[in-house]
């Protein structure tokens, strides 16, 4: 049975012609957040983001996903999976993938961005983004 | 960023670090990178955090030459609104406060559009 390991969320607002805390076109801000825990080779990890709420008063965008994750190999070496760069998903080539599912993950980075084309009030774009990591002990049955 | 939960329990803010990459010419925030250690994970050093911030900023398409790094506690990015780095380069300041509730903004938006309609 899978357990919800980590849950987080963030409210983001953007306005002002792409120059508020929004992101991922060149010249506008972006966000990333890494979670790290003790490596466990017997653990399967599924992680994703989702968008809860969107308010669009004038045109904008939001995206979120996984930027990178790291696994520990049996010999103790690490493998960096730069999935946001190698397998970007959706319309944006800004460096995130929808979800990951792998074994022996112990370091995972979420990424997201939001942007608005207009000014404050008529142009504000707001969204709430959820971040989740689920883990499952391999061979543990249901 | 709201309070993070691990195994159903809130994670202490002391477990998180934040690195802000900004343009020193206008103090504009280009990328925000945070990191949280949970359940026995190895702690992040400031150098590691900064290296990851630069790498992720590049991954998102930003030019990072000339950017500076500012390390802040997670509480510094809990304000609701648009941020920039202060003139001394020592902390963040909110340049535009976001409304507490969408209804505030929607009322203003309706009023603005009603005014436009009368012109």
Query: Average pLDDT, stretch A84-113?
Result: 85
pLDDT of residue A23: 39
pLDDT, position A76: 94
Residues in A 46-75 with any Cβ partner in B closer than 8 A: 55, 57, 67-68
Interface size, chain A vs chain B, as Cβ–Cβ contacts under 8 Å:
139
Q: Mapping DSSP to helix (H, G, I), strand (E, B) and coil, where does residue A102 land?
A: strand
Provide the whole-model pTM. 0.86
Task: Give me the pLDDT at residue B28, please.
Answer: 85
Q: How far is CA A10 from CA A13, A42, A129, in A?
A: 10, 31, 5
Q: Which of B83, B97, B79 is nearest to B23 (CA)?
A: B83
Which of A19-28, A37-46, A110-119, B75-84 has the largest mean confidence? A37-46
Chain A residue with Cα closest to B33? A32
pLDDT on residue A24: 39
Through-space distance between the first and last CA atoms of chain A, rounded to whole angstroms? 5
Indicate yes or no: CB of B109 within 8 angstroms of CB of A55: no
N-term to C-term CA, chain B? 41
Question: What is the per-residue pLDDT for A120?
Answer: 64
Which is nearest to B48 in space by CA: B77, B75, B76, B69? B69
Name residues 54-93 of chain B within 8 A of A (Cβ).
Answer: 56-57, 59-63, 80-83
Q: Which residues of chain A are within 8 Å of residue B34 when distances are taken between CB atoms?
A: 31-34
CA distance B74 to A35: 14
CA distance B44 to chain A (A): 9
Beta carbons of B59 and A36 less than 8 Å apart: no
- In this predicted structure, what is the pLDDT of residue B26? 85
A108 has pLDDT over 70: yes
Question: How many whole angstroms separate alpha carbon A90 and alpha carbon A82?
Answer: 16
CA distance linking residue A77 with residue A67, whole number of Å: 20
* pLDDT-based confidence at residue A94 (cuts at 50, 70, 90): low
ipTM, two decimals, is: 0.86
- The Cα–Cα gap between A66 and A57 comes to 27
Contact between A129 and A112 under an 8 Å Cβ cutoff? The reply is yes
């Amino acid at each position: 049975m899978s357990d919800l390991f980590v849950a987080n969320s963030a409210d983001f607002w953007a306005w002002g012609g792409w120059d508020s805390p929004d992101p991922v076109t060149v010249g506008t801000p972006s966000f990333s957040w890494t979670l790290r825990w003790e490596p466990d080779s017997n653990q399967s990890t599924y992680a994703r983001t989702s968008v809860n709420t969107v308010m669009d008063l004038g045109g904008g965008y939001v995206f979120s996903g996984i930027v990178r994750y790291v696994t520990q190999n049996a010999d103790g070496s690490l493998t960096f999976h730069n999935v946001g760069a190698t397998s970007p998903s959706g319309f944006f080539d800004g460096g995130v993938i929808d979800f990951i599912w792998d074994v022996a993950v112990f370091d995972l980075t979420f990424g997201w961005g939001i942007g608005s084309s207009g000014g404050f009030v008529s142009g504000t774009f707001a969204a709430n983004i959820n971040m989740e990591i689920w883990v499952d002990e391999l061979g543990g049955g249901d | 960023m709201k309070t993070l939960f691990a195994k159903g329990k809130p994670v202490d803010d002391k477990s998180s670090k934040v690195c802000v990459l900004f343009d020193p010419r206008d103090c504009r925030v280009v990328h925000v990178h945070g990191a949280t250690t949970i359940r026995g994970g190895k702690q992040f050093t400031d150098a590691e955090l900064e290296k990851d911030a630069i790498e992720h900023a590049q991954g998102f398409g930003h030019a990072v030459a000339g950017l500076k790094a500012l390390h802040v506690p997670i509480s510094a990015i809990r304000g609701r609104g648009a941020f920039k780095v202060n003139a001394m380069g020592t902390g963040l300041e909110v340049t535009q406060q976001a409304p507490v509730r969408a209804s505030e903004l929607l009322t203003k938006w309706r009023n603005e559009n009603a005014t436009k309609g009368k012109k």
